[in-house]
Amino acid sequence: MTPLARVIAEQIETTGPMPVARFMELALNHPQFGYYRTRDPLGAAGDFITAPETSQMFGEMIGLWSAVAWEALGAPTPFTLAELGPGHGTLMADALRAGRTKPGFVEAARLHLVETSPRLRARQAETLGGFDPVFHDDVAGLPDGPLIVLANEFFDALPVRQLVATEGGWAERCIDRQPGGDGGFTFTMGDQAPVADLPPIAAPGAAPGTIFEVSPAAQAVAGELGGRCARAPGAVLIIDYGHAAVAMGETLQAVRGHRYADPLSDPGTADLTAHVDFGALGRCARDAGATVFGPIGQGRFLLSLGIAARAKRLMAAASAQQADDIEAAFQRLLAPSEMGNLFKVMALASPDAEALPGFTA
């Protein structure tokens, strides 16, 4: 049993079966044993590889997007340039390098990073030290005023509740100790969910056993950022894997050492994520007063920002091996069978913002 499994088992003993969202929160963020508190999950030696770690082209395109968005917002100076869950800081480093092509953009930016992992904070401070980043535990800590926010694979790490359709209505899906006392965990049904939590369109008629996931944490962040865009010039870029409209089904998954794992086994030692419900994020941001662009597929977004020309330029100066690597990364980021369609891009912006790059025809 991992130390965190013991903590979870004790809580279940004391208060009964634990909602899935609470389990996910503890597995990822327990102050002592949580996954993100104890390790660096990124890279070949870790558990998974993200788009910015796949190729510098990804962060560069995001940097160009940010610089054009900044101009569309009226080039506010100074402004907050924030990233949520910056990992190794690679995306931001590549973005700031590319952003230098827009005069005044980098000089106007004040860097703020929302990160809970002490280990990754240290890594980000190293990568981005030249920009004096200010760290925050959550988005509420970001300064008021004009801002551009970037979030790649951040929302999928926020806890989801799972609701299960039953003959008598929706019930909270929970986690209990496995009978027999071998230290494992198993899914079980908890209380019937309050009506306010029901999925907006699919509640009536869902077949018993249907699972619906909802992330109050993700929706709160989208609402907070949408409100900020309504009060000051702002643009937020969200990139993640997920669905564009309400979808039923379980997407909670665990990854350890670049392989799928059982989400309930050895909590704290595997990454737990769930698909992002972009429809819900857009609704929350709109309700808070923001304009919403997308979501569109990552492939289409990157192509419209000019990644093909960038790849060509990099390849022209590359060795044969490097050119193969650039081609492979290009395919990984754009191919519909890889990240091109499953990964989606959505932007939130001030209501009077001009059309943002990447989202026009």
In the complex, the residues that contact ligand SAM under the rule CB under 6 A are: 28-29, 36, 42, 50, 52-53, 85-87, 91, 114-117, 120, 152-154, 157-158
Cα atoms found within 13 Å of the Cα of residue 311, Cβ hemisphere only = 20
Pick between residue 142 and residue 211 the one whose CB is nearest to ligand SAM: 142
DSSP SS3 for 221: helix
Query: 290 or 333, CB closer to ligand SAM?
Result: 333
DSSP-based three-state secondary structure for 208:
coil
**Given the complex with ligand SAM, which of 116 and 219 has the nearer CB atom?**
116
Q: Which residue is nearest to ligand SAM (CB)?
A: 85
Nearer to ligand SAM, 37 or 177 (CB): 37
CB of 21 to ligand SAM, least distance (A): 12
CB of 90 to ligand SAM, least distance (A): 6
Shortest CB 197 distance to ligand SAM, Å: 21
Min separation Cβ 221 and ligand SAM, Å: 9
Distance CA 44, CA 98 (A): 26
For the bound state, the minimum distance from the C-beta of residue 175 to ligand SAM, rounded and expressed in Å, comes to: 19
Q: Which is nearer to ligand SAM, 25 or 325 (CB)?
A: 25
Q: Which candidate, 106, 111, 99, places its Cα nearest to that of 143? A: 111
Strand ranges (E), 59-168: 79-84, 109-114, 134-136, 147-152, 161-166
Tell me whether residue 50 or residue 269 sits nearer to ligand SAM (CB atom): 50
Residue 206 beta carbon to ligand SAM: minimum distance, rounded to whole angstroms? 29
Rg of the chain on CA atoms, in Å: 21
CB of 117 to ligand SAM, least distance (A): 4
Hunting for tokens 């891009």 — which residue is that? 345
Nearest alpha carbon to residue 334 among 38, 51, 23, 14? 51
Nearest to 240 by CA among 126, 345, 96: 345
Burial of 318 (0-12, 13-18, 19+ CB in 10 A): middle
Nearer to ligand SAM, 30 or 177 (CB): 30
Q: With CA atoms as reference, report the closest residue to 23 among 262, 277, 259, 279.
A: 262
What is the C-alpha to C-alpha distance for residues 243 and 249, in angstroms, rounded to an integer?
11
For residue 310, the minimal CB distance to ligand SAM (Å) is: 18
* Contact of 203 with 171, CB cutoff 8 Å: no
Closer residue to ligand SAM (CB): 119 or 286: 119
Give the single-character DSSP code of 285: H
Beta bridge mates, 169:
166
